[in-house]
Amino acid sequence: MRVGTGYDVHRLTAGRDLILGGVKIPHELGLLGHSDADVLLHAVMDALLGAAALGDIGRHFPDTEEQYRGISSMKLLAYVSRLLREKGYRIENIDATVIAQKPKLRPYIAQMEQNMAKVLGVSQSQINVKATTEEGLGFTGSQEGIAAQAVCCLEPSGVQI
């Protein structure tokens, strides 16, 4: 079994969509970044890449590359999924937490889990997303940004391409 962790942070700003787990969430602020700035998927991708000892998202999708400007992180997750399969890994499970004061995310969590499961080719029961606040403390509590962290387990499938 291989274990990986991921963490990501993006600043909240006006004039951007708030996208988490591939879900566009109604909110007056969105996340600033080179791509769609989906902190949840970025943390998940870093966990998956780390568990497979394949670096991080900055290595695979540098923010200096125009081809990644505004790209959907769901497309990046699909690339990571293909890479894991090529390297002979199978996803056992993913557990992730989004840290945001607002908006309330509970109504969107099932769709986030579905989105990730579909792209990764796993059962939704293998994906768990949680949301929490920091009770008004820190940069997430003051609504300056949103953070996410993830952990995953990979199993070697025995097949390497």
For residue 139, count other CB atoms closer than 10 A to its CB: 16
Q: What six digits make up the tokens of 33?
A: 């970044």
Tell me whether residue 60 is annotated as binding: no
Tell me whether residue 61 is annotated as binding: yes
Tell me whether residue 36 is annotated as binding: no
Tell me whether residue 97 is annotated as binding: no
- Asked if residue 31 lies in contact with residue 12, where contact means CB atoms within 8 angstroms, the answer is yes
Phi and psi at 115, nearest 5°, equal -60, -50
Tell me whether residue 133 is annotated as binding: yes
Tell me the pairing of strands 89-99 and 127-132.
Answer: parallel
Tell me whether residue 64 is annotated as binding: yes
Tell me whether residue 134 is annotated as binding: yes
Tell me whether residue 56 is annotated as binding: yes
Tell me whether residue 103 is annotated as binding: no
Tell me whether residue 140 is annotated as binding: no
Tell me whether residue 66 is annotated as binding: no
Side-chain half-sphere CA neighbours of 115 within 13 A: 22
Tell me whether residue 65 is annotated as binding: yes
Tell me whether residue 95 is annotated as binding: no
End-to-end CA distance of the chain: 19
Side-chain half-sphere CA neighbours of 31 within 13 A: 32
Tell me whether residue 135 is annotated as binding: yes
Tell me whether residue 10 is annotated as binding: yes
Tell me whether residue 145 is annotated as binding: no
Tell me whether residue 35 is annotated as binding: yes
Cite the annotated binding site by residue number.
8-10, 34-35, 42, 56-58, 61-65, 132-135, 139
Query: Which residues participate in the annotated binding site for a divalent metal cation?
Result: 8, 10, 42
